[in-house]
Amino acid sequence: MQITYDPDRDILQIAFNNREVGETARISPNLILDYDDDGLIVGLEIRQASHRVESPLSVTYTIGPANLDKPPI
């Protein structure tokens, strides 16, 4: 997995693997998902990241239980 922040464009990208992007889908105005040709998620992109994440220049990596306290899908 690779996380890239481009401060000039204010874009945060998270690549989950090295597979080639076959399709891109805009999920919301500033959230984009990339898929491979088999429909698996390759990565995501957050535009105007400095307005949407606490600090695009800082990453905390935690191993532990997932946060499941969310509204139902």
Mind listing the pLDDT tens digit for each residue in 25-55? Answer: 999 999 999 999 999 999 999 999 999 988 8
Return the percentage of the chain with pLDDT > 70, whole number. 100
Structure tokens of 50?
């400095």
Q: Of 32, 1, 3, which Cα lies nearest the Cα of 17? A: 1
pLDDT above 80 (res 73) = no
User: Do residues 30 and 47 touch, judged by C-beta distance below 8 A?
Assistant: yes
User: What span, in angstroms and rounded, lies between the C-alpha atoms of 25 and 39?
Assistant: 11
